Amino acid sequence: MTGAGPPSGSAAGRSEDSGAPPTVGRDAATSTPDPPGSRRALVVSTLAFTVAFYAWSLLGPLGPDLQDELELSDFELSVVVALPVVLGSIMRLPMGVLADRHGARSVLGLLLGWTIVPLAALAAWHSSLAALLALGFLLGFAGSSFAVGVPFVSRWFSTERQGYALGVYGAGMGGTVLAGLTAPTIADQWGIGAPFVVAAVLVAVVLVVWLVAAEPPPGAPTRATPREPGRGVTRLLRTEPRAWALTLFYFVSFGGFVSMFLYLPKLLTGVHELSRTDAGARAAGFAALAVIARPVGGMLADRIGADRVLRWSFVGTALLALVVAGTYEEMVPLTAACLALAVALGLGTGAVFKLVAAWFPREVGAVTGVVSAAGGLGGFFPPLLMGVVDYRVGFVLLALIAATALVALRRSHGPG
C-alpha cells in the first residue's frame, strides 16, 4: 500500500491517465442503462443470500438451548458456534474463484442444494457434540454464498449503480438477524430440531425460485473459463497492494459488525445484568440498523464516491469504539454509541464492494472471496480479547484497526 497510483488493468486506473486521485461513482452524466432483468436478478440473489445466511447462523441463537440439552461447557459451545462461521469465511475464497470460472448462477444453485443436506441432518441428529461438530462443519459452506452472489449481481448492473445493487444484496446479511429473532421461538414451540426443518424448507423453496428466475448475467461464463481472464488470487495479492487494502477495509467494517453482534449479548448480560432475551433483542436491533445502513452506504458510494463513504465510516468507527471503551459500564452512552457505531459499520460494508468491482472488474469473484473471508474472520479478534483480557481492550483494538484502515485508504487513493 505504498503507491497512490492506480493499479494496471483496473477500471479506476484506466480512467485516471492524468494521475489525479481515482474516485469511484461520481460521474452521473456517463450513466448507462442496466440490462433488462437486472431488478429481478437483484431480488432473487438477495433472497438466496438471505436464506443462506439464515441457515448458516442457526447454531448461534440455538446455542443456549443446545448447551442446556447436551450439558456442553462454554468452550464446547463456542466451538460449535464458531465452526460454521469460520469455515464459511474461509470457503469464500475458493467459492469466489469458482463463481468467476463456472458462473455464479450454477455455483450458487449447487450451494443452496448442498445446504439442505446438513440442515435436514441436524433436524434429525443434534443430540451429541460429535454430530453438531460434523454437521456444523458441513453447514458452514452456506456462509460462502456472499462471495458467489457478488460477481453475479455486479455483472447485472452498470458501474454507476453497482454500489446500490451490491448494498441491497449485502443487506441479505439480515438473515442472521432473522435467525436470532425466530429460531429460539420456533425451538421453544416445536422442539430444537424444528428451526432446522424450517430452514431446510425455506432453502428448498428459494432454490426452486433461483433455478426458475435467475438467468446468467451478460458476459457471464457459460462453461469452465480458463485462467486467462483473471490473474490468479496468489499473483494478484502479490502484485496489487490495493487487494490487501480492500481486505483491511472489510476486516474493519464487516468484522466490526460481526464482533459487536456476537459479543453485545455477553456484555449486556455480564456488565448490565440484563436477561438473555433482552440482551438478544438489543443485539438484534444493533444488527438491523447496520443492515439498513448497508444499502445506504452503497447508494452514497455511487453518488459521492466509495472512498469518501469509507473515510466517514472509519473515522466514525474509531471515535465511537473509543467512546464505548470509556463508557461501556453506563447504559445510556453505551446504547447511543453502539447504535451510531452500527450505522458507521453498515455504511462501510456497503461501500467496500463498490471498490472491488471498480478496481478488479475481471476478478470480482476471486477478490470478493479474499475480502469477505477477511471480514468474516475479523469478527473474532476483538471478542476474543474482550473475553480473555478485558472489554475495554477489545474496543480500543477496534478503534486502532479502524485508524489503520483510514491510513491505508488515504495511501491507496492519494491525498484528497
Model confidence band, residue 71 (pLDDT cutoffs 50, 70, 90): confident
- Our separate counts of H helices and E strands in the chain read 19, 0
Which is more confident, 258 or 24?
258
The Cα–Cα gap between 73 and 334 comes to 30
Cα→Cα distances 311→104, 196, 297, 316, 404, Å? 31, 40, 12, 8, 11
Q: In this model, does residue 127 exceed pLDDT 60?
A: yes
Residue that wins the pLDDT comparison between 387 and 283? 283
Alpha-carbon dihedral angle through residues 264, 268, 270, 276, given to the nearest 10 degrees: -90
If we measure between CA atoms, which residue out of 353, 108, 368, 35 comes closest to residue 230? 368
Closest C-alpha among 190, 183, 204 to residue 59: 183
Domains in the chain: ranges and CATH? 37-215 (1.20.1250.20), 229-416 (1.20.1250.20)
Residue 406 has pLDDT above 70, yes or no: yes
The whole-number pLDDT of residue 383 equals 53
Going by C-beta distance under 8 Å and a sequence separation of 6 or more, which residues neighbour residue 247? 370, 371, 374
DSSP labels, 291-313: HHHHHHHHHHHHHH-HHHHHHHH
Query: Which of the residue ranges 17-21, 153-157, 289-293 has the most confident prediction, judged by mean pLDDT?
Result: 289-293
pTM recorded for the entire structure:
0.72
Does residue 8 carry a pLDDT above 70? no
**Once rounded to an integer, what is the mean pLDDT over residues 340-356?**
89
Q: Quick one: cell of 260?
A: 459487536
Which pLDDT tens digit goes with each residue over 305-344? 889 999 999 999 999 999 999 999 999 999 999 999 999 9
Residue 148 CA, distance from chain mean position: 12
What average pLDDT does range 405-410 have in this prediction?
Answer: 92
What is the rounded CA–CA span in Å between residue 258 and residue 252?
10
DSSP 240: -
User: Mean pLDDT throughout 253-263?
Assistant: 80
| CA end-to-end span of the chain | 16
Banded pLDDT at 50 (limits 50, 70, 90): very high
Phi-psi region at 33: left, alpha or beta (left = phi > 0; alpha = psi -120 to 50): beta
Q: Which amino acid is at 282?
A: R
Residue with cell 452472489: 149
| The predicted structure's pLDDT at residue 233 | 61
Q: pLDDT value at position 224?
A: 45
- With beta carbons less than 8 A apart as the criterion, state whether 308 and 314 touch: no
| Confidence label for 33 from pLDDT (cuts 50, 70 and 90) | low
Cβ(177)–Cβ(284) below 8 Å: yes
Q: Which of 320, 326, 324 is nearest to 340 (CA)?
A: 320
Mean pLDDT, the chain, rounded, equals 79
What integer is the mean pLDDT of 385-405?
78
Mean pLDDT, range 181-195, rounded to an integer: 87
Residue 14: partners with Cβ closer than 8 Å, 6 or more residues away: 6
Which stretch of DSSP H or E encloses residue 202? helix 194-213
Give residue 399's pLDDT: 92
User: Strand runs (DSSP E) across 184-292, as ranges?
Assistant: none
Question: What residue type is 312 in one-letter code?
Answer: W
Question: Residue 11 above 50 pLDDT?
Answer: no
Stated as kind and residue range, the H or E segment containing 86 is helix 74-90
| Contact in structure between 405 and 241 (CB atoms under 8 Å) | no
Res. 404 pLDDT band, cuts 50 70 90: very high
* Burial of residue 273, with CB atoms counted within 10 A of its CB: 0-12 exposed, 13-18 middle, 19 or more buried: exposed
Share of the chain above pLDDT 70, in %: 81
